[in-house]
Amino acid sequence: MLTKKLTYLMALIIVLLIPVTGLGSETNFSGFLQGLYGGGLDKDNPTPSDLTASETRLQLRMESFSDNAEFFGRIDFVYDDYYQPSTNIELREGFAKFRIGSFLDFKIGRQIVTWGTGDLIFINDVFAKDYLSFFTGRDDQYLKAPQNALRMALYTGVGDFAVVYSPRFTPNRTPTGERLSYYYPMTPDGGAIVGAPEYLFEANLPAAKFKSGELAGRFSRYFGNADVALYGYRGFYKNPVGFDMATMSGYYPRLNVYGASVRMPIFGGIAWVEGGHFDSRDDTDGNNPMIPNSKISGLIGFERQIGSNLTANIQYQNEKMIDFDKYVETLPVGMAAKEETYHLLTTRITQLIMMETLSFSAFVFYSPNEEDLYGRFLTSYKYSDAVTLSLGANIFDGQDEYTSFGTFQKNDNIYLKVTYGY
Amino acid sequence: MKFQKTTMLMILIVMISGQWTYAGDNQAMEIMKKSHLSMFYAADDGIAEVKMTITNSRGKERIREFAMLRLDLEDGGKQMYYTYFRKPHDVSRLTFMVHKMPEASDNRWLYVPAVDLVKRISADDKGSSFVGSDFTYEDVSGRHWSEDNHKILKEDKLGDNDVYIIESTPIEKYKGFAKKISYVDKGHFLPLKEEYYDKKNELIRVFTAEKIEEINGIITPTIRKMENVKKKQYTMVEFTEIKFNIGVGEDIFSERYLKNPPRNFIK
């Protein structure tokens, strides 16, 4: 109820602000039309379709602004006959933002939020992601899922403060067994990679109460060339990592995150360091095996140009579980145990040629201790300013089926994408 | 005594000629400094709509459109740039910010609004292409005159304009060019033409100021062309809606405005 009231209140504020700010003095329209078709490479993937993507997407964008206020909307119409109904409409973004005085900015509505320093590794960025899009070849802009939020930024001499409040928890979008399969530990034979319809993945969302909102904050400032930030988050795990034995379904346990990051130019490139403490609020002692333990996560990365139009980066992430002994003690018999420390290495290489009209890029995640990997490969050719052709692949591999990327190892796919922008 | 006189005379000749040579270099350096300031530091700040047309060897055109804001903190010194992309569609609403530091590496930021991402970009690539055009990052923000040795080859005419023809060679080894010949107008000191040569002394690129106009009392090139002789392609850049001394503050060149374009300047 309260969220509904809040939504009405926000809408009312926006409407009232239109005449005040003179919003609408400049209006522009744009968008694109896109076809995306992807096929699975693994014959024994338990999903009902061999196609990992088969969609036609029309995006309409509209912006309207005056000196101190701006409205932006972006709406997607997607046709995919795999799903029922086959046409889906999604408001990707729809927000109003305005400046109050010289030190305060507001952004209200459906929006995408990002912060933190990692390249496709997120520690303090506890905002919604769309891994289904990410794994099937949709554009980079679809990695982030929109959330309904109120964002406030305060600019002071000490530094910048930002607060993002989402009245309703927005989870990550993860593979459901329809387009992509996943590992399920509770099958009769003690765990397997499964697909829909039998194992259509559905998790229980937190009750739609005031308490189920999400609050994220950041303080940032520059020290010379270094941008330094402190973060805090109060909400829930974005993936359904909890398991409710009563309903035999996944859910989103409570989570707080506290962290910091530094990013600066050095050695002819950019380096970043980020750390965070994941405080598992529903399992503070670490003795509930159905909820992940708290952990400390750290990340270090470096990027630089290594040749003409050739850029590369490397990252190393380390995650250490807190109360590991209790985790081992309480782990049910027969469940595969995680290691106390998780290591992840990533690298990205991007090459642009022919006046930046042809690009090649590769991004590889590799965990030496979970012995799994995920590679993203993409070739894109800008035939003209309007038309882009892309050919890409997503490759997963893993020694075990229950690891971060091993769970998706039957979802290897290649895709073709054609975009017409206007 | 005679020996001493000869020595004195020789020393005098060396001193005079030395001073004369010095004066020559100094004059070339002064001209290039003035040229740099009139080209890249006109007024204290400025804004323009920029249309870049890249034409490849087969005659195919690609167009980039953006608004560009500039603020000089010191003539020939620290400078700030803010770019708001309009076209093509895949970069529309993207913003790009540079804090140019003549004595150190530039600081650069890119903001991708579709994912709300602020990315810092390493600035070790002054010679690489600016948004896929024939202009490099350095062509856009200027190469500091103190990085090259300059000498006046001659004073001549280019079309109807009286020009200094100046040869510049990088003091430290540089990938961008081995030699540059500039045709600098004697009146307003803008470079009317620049020829870039590689180390084999082959012509690689040619810059020309195609159209020069007076705006708010400031003489500025409004159409610029860069031809890549080797690749047989060229980029035309057209500046419109140019305004100088609009009073843009230093605070505009911050992350706040990177994420929220200053709509009072950029429509």
Determine how many CB atoms are found less than 10 A away from the CB of residue B132: 18
Cβ-contact A55, A8 below 8 angstroms: no
pLDDT, tens digit, 9 for 90 and up, residues B34-53: 999 999 999 999 999 999 99
**Block residue for tokens 């590992």:** A183
Q: Could you report how far apart the first and last alpha carbons of chain A are, in Å?
A: 40
Q: Say which residues have a Cβ less than 8 Å from residue B202's Cβ, sequence separation at least 6.
A: B230
pLDDT, tens digit, 9 for 90 and up, residues B9-19: 666 655 555 44
Structure tokens, B114: 């579709």
- Give the whole-angstrom CA distance, residue A272 versus residue A303: 9
Among A416, A414, A410, which Cα is nearest to A182's?
A410
DSSP secondary structure letters along B122-173: ----TTSBSTTSSSBHHHHH---GGGEEEEEEEEEEETTEEEEEEEEEESS-
% chain A with pLDDT above 90: 77
Is A66's CB within 8 Å of B263's CB? yes
Whether domain B26-259 has CATH 2.50.20.10: the reply is yes
Cβ-contact A36, A66 below 8 angstroms: no
Domains of chain A, each with CATH number or no CATH: 2-18+35-421 (2.40.160.10)
pLDDT, tens digit, 9 for 90 and up, residues A331-345: 888 787 889 999 999
Is A265's CB within 8 Å of B260's CB? no
Burial (0-12, 13-18, 19+ Cβ within 10 Å), A277: middle
pLDDT, tens digit, 9 for 90 and up, residues A146-178: 999 999 999 999 999 999 999 999 999 999 999
pLDDT, tens digit, 9 for 90 and up, residues A258-285: 999 999 999 989 999 999 999 999 999 9
pLDDT, tens digit, 9 for 90 and up, residues B68-82: 999 999 999 999 999
DSSP secondary structure letters along A348-361: EEEEEETTTTEEEE
Is B115's CB within 8 Å of A421's CB? no
Q: Which residues of chain B make contact with A422, given a CB cutoff of 8 A?
A: 89
SS3 call for A304:
strand
Query: What are the CA-CA distances from residue B10 to residues B1, B2, B23, B24 (Å)?
Result: 14, 12, 19, 21
B89 in contact with A at a CB cutoff of 8 Å? yes
* Whole-number pLDDT of residue B15: 54
Model ipTM value: 0.91
Q: How far is A71 from chain B (nearest CA, A)?
A: 11
Residue A119 pLDDT exceeds 50:
yes
Is B88's CB within 8 Å of A356's CB? no
* Whole-number pLDDT of residue A321: 96
Q: Which residues of chain B make contact with A153, given a CB cutoff of 8 A?
A: 256
Label residue A246 by pLDDT band (50, 70, 90). confident
- Give the whole-angstrom CA distance, residue A293 versus residue B239: 59
Residue B199 pLDDT exceeds 80:
yes
Average model confidence (pLDDT) across chain A:
92
Cβ-contact A148, A329 below 8 angstroms: no
Burial (0-12, 13-18, 19+ Cβ within 10 Å), A42: middle
Facing A143 at nearest CB: one of B115, B118, B263: B115
Question: C-alpha A160: how far from its chain's center?
Answer: 24
Q: Name the residue type at position B256.
A: R
Label residue B22 by pLDDT band (50, 70, 90). very low
Query: Which residue on chain B is closest to A26 by alpha carbon?
Result: B267
Burial (0-12, 13-18, 19+ Cβ within 10 Å), B41: middle
Q: Name the residue ranges covered by the structural domains of chain B.
A: 26-259
In A308-367 the beta strands, taken as DSSP E runs, fall at: 310-321, 341-353, 358-367
